[in-house]
Structure 1
C-alpha cells in the first residue's frame, strides 16, 4: 500500500457554515457552504458554477455559527483560490487565507 504524505499543515474540521465570497473580477458576491475549514483555508461548495480560478484573489466571510445569517464587511478575510473543481450541480473551491486563523468553532 502506497502511503501519501499529508499536504495540509493544519487540522481540518468537517463543518458546514454559510459563506460569502467577494469576486473582485466580477464585483459580485457568491454564496456557498463550507465542507471543511482549517486555520489556513477552507473547502467550499457553491450550488452554481462559480467563476473562480486558481490564483484569483477574493475576500471570504464565514458564518461563526449555524444561526448567523448576515456577514459584516469587517468579518471578510483576504484569500486566494487554490483549486476550482466544476461539479455536476455547481463548483467546489479550495481557498487559502492570507493570514492563519484560530479555530474557534461554535457548535
Structure 2
C-alpha cells in the first residue's frame, strides 16, 4: 500500500470496504435498541435466588445488563429475567421472561456486563413515553 493510496490493509479500496460492512451491521439487529436504565432481577438456572441487575440498553429482542455478581454469568447460559418498566419495586412471576446470555464481559470490581437475547420478543410498556 502506498502513501496516499486509498486502500484498506487488505488491498481493497477503502470506499468498497466501508460500504460492504455498513449493510451487515444494520441487518444484525432485528429490533431497535434504546439506551434505557431500568432495575431488573435475574436468576441463572443453577441458582435458587434472583439477583439484582440494571439494564443499560434494551430492545424487544434483548438487553445489555450490568450486575453485581459474585458468580459471573457465562456465554450460552440460560437465565430468567424480570425488568421493572413501571417503576415498581415488586416484580411478579408474570413479568419473568426466559433469555440466553449471548455475550459476557469479565468481572471487574464485582461488576459484570452481559448481553442477553430474549427467547421471545417482549413488550416494553411505557418505554416510548420515557425514552
The normalised TM-score by structure 2 is 0.72
Deviation by residue 1:58-100 (Cα, 9 ceiling, x = unmatched):
11000013x2111001210011111110242310011100111
Instruction: Spell out structure 1 runs of 4+ moving beyond 3 A.
Output: 1-4
| Aligned residue in 1 for 2:74 | 53
Cα RMSD over matched residues? 1.8
Q: Residue 18 of structure 1 aligns with which residue? A: 39
2:62 to 41, 44, 54: 41
Q: Which has the higher helix share?
A: 2
Assess if the C-alpha contact under 8 Å between 2:85 and 2:124 holds in 1: no
Q: For 1:49 and 1:43, how far apart are their aligned partners in 2?
A: 19
Unaligned runs of 5+ in 2: 1-13
- Any conservation in 2 of the 1:85–1:91 contact (CA below 8 Å)? yes
Stretches of structure 1 lacking an aligned partner (at least 5 in a row):
none
Larger radius of gyration: 2
What SS does the corresponding residue of 2:114 show, helix, strand or coil? strand
More strand by share: 1
Higher relative contact order (CA 8 A, sep 6+): 1
TM normalised by structure 1 equals 0.86
For 1:96 and 1:36, the matched residues in 2 are separated by 12
